[in-house]
Amino acid sequence: MTIRVQFWSYFKDLSGCAETTEQLPPGATIDQLLKNLYARFPKLSAMQNSTLIAVGLEYQGRSYLLNEGDEVSLFPPVQGG
Amino acid sequence: MTIRVQFWSYFKDLSGCAETTEQLPPGATIDQLLKNLYARFPKLSAMQNSTLIAVGLEYQGRSYLLNEGDEVSLFPPVQGG
Amino acid sequence: MHRLVTLTRDPIFDSAYISQRSMSATMGAAVSFSGVVRGHENGEAITAIEYEANEPMALHQFDILLDLIEEQWPMIETVRIVHRLGKVPVGEPSLWLEIIAPHRAEAFASGQFLIDEMKKSVPIWKKMIG
Amino acid sequence: MHRLVTLTRDPIFDSAYISQRSMSATMGAAVSFSGVVRGHENGEAITAIEYEANEPMALHQFDILLDLIEEQWPMIETVRIVHRLGKVPVGEPSLWLEIIAPHRAEAFASGQFLIDEMKKSVPIWKKMIG
């Protein structure tokens, strides 16, 4: 399945792009997606412990089961206000 | 000595006046002033436990020693805002 | 700390007060509060509240509270307080205040402190108008 | 509860928002907060902060927080939130919010809750402009 990934804030600088796609087998989790992304974008992996993950408009954890068409957002801690 | 007394809020209704004066011997306290006032204005004495007392612009307690020229304010709990 | 304490018989236009606000570049938070007369008081319908103050004493007691605020939150830049006196119709503010501080925590905390304390010590009284 | 959440690239004129306020006769308190860009951030002088948002998600996450507020303080009548995006110069508000409630305690508490929580969950980020 194809998963679209968007990067936000300085994660765009770390990955060098605003968005990308990943091919994953059915039943893959966010954890597997992250492993693939960290292989492609090593600078992102340094931020592992402060990475927030959303699918669509909702926050999700690493064990979330991805579905075809999911749009994943990865970003650093938020800083509004 | 002559002490001027002002009543505020519904204490004016209880006493029937906005201000009065009391003659007191030198060394008199607010407590003595109140006794005299309660004799003249019995309705005020019902409010004894919720009477606030100021001399000039400052709150004072019942044992405050009055001085010639002091202006005393008596009023119920405040309710601003 | 800048202090502006006003007792007035005129309506309070809080948007006008806010448009006059000035903050220096080290200040990051402005909290303002409007206390508005409600249509019921203790279960009874009212049309207005009439506020009476011992004005010189009220100004002095506000000043004492502002001293306490300055001591407890020395970084606060400005506190403005406006209390309306006389008849205030339902729906109109009787009290407006604003705190300008470096951070929101001290602005919120000092604003609540100021209102809580003024309701104990500032000689202003109300009378319900049916 | 009325909810108005706005993400805008235009300057925030809080006095204009306040002059548009409407409160029903059971509401006695309006608390408003302006968060203003300061001239220093982490000890470094800056001229502006550039705000970026994941806009649809930010609006949704604000809505989740407003659900929580509605649950915890069911008497609140209105919450308005305006967050500016793009470059916000020092001295200008990046955030404005207002809570209208029957009493001041719930207006202050929910306002603080809203700001604390949005800083954890609403996807908005800043970049200092030197």
Digit-coded pLDDT (tens) for B21-32: 999 999 999 999
Q: How far is B8 from chain C (nearest CA, A)?
A: 8
| Best CATH choice for the domain C2-129 from the list 3.30.310.50, 3.40.50.2300, 3.90.1170.40, 3.40.47.10 | 3.90.1170.40
Confidence bin at D42 (pLDDT 50/70/90)? confident
- The pLDDT, as a whole number, for residue B63 is 97
Q: How does the average pLDDT of chain C come out, rounded? A: 97
Which of D16, D19, D36 is the closest to C23 by Cβ? D36
- Res D125 pLDDT > 90: yes
Mean per-residue pLDDT of chain D: 97
Q: What's the pLDDT tens digit per position in C6-23?
A: 999 999 999 999 999 999
Span D91-107, pLDDT tens digits? 999 999 999 999 999 99
pTM over 0.90: yes
pLDDT tens-digit series, residues D52-63: 999 999 999 999
Each domain of chain C, given as residue ranges in start order, spans 2-129
Cα C64 versus chain centre, distance: 14
Q: What is the ipTM of this complex?
A: 0.94
Phi, psi for residue D72 in degrees, rounded to 5 = -80, -30
User: For residue C42, what pLDDT band results from cuts at 50, 70 and 90?
Assistant: confident
Report the distance separating Cα A43 and Cα A55, nearest Å: 22
Give the other-Cβ count within 10 Å of C124's Cβ. Answer: 27
Tell which residue, A73, A4, A76, has the closest CA to residue A43: A76
Domain ranges of chain B: 2-75
Dig out the tokens for C51 from the structure: 């506020």
At residue A63, the pLDDT reads 97
By Cβ distance, the residue of D26, D32, D34 closest to C38 is D26
Q: Which CATH number fits domain B2-75: 3.10.20.30, 3.40.50.300, 3.90.550.10, 1.20.1250.20?
A: 3.10.20.30
Q: Is the pLDDT of residue C125 over 90?
A: yes
Does A76 touch chain D if contact means CB atoms closer than 8 Å? Answer: yes
Q: Tell me what percent of the residues of chain D surpass a pLDDT of 90.
A: 98
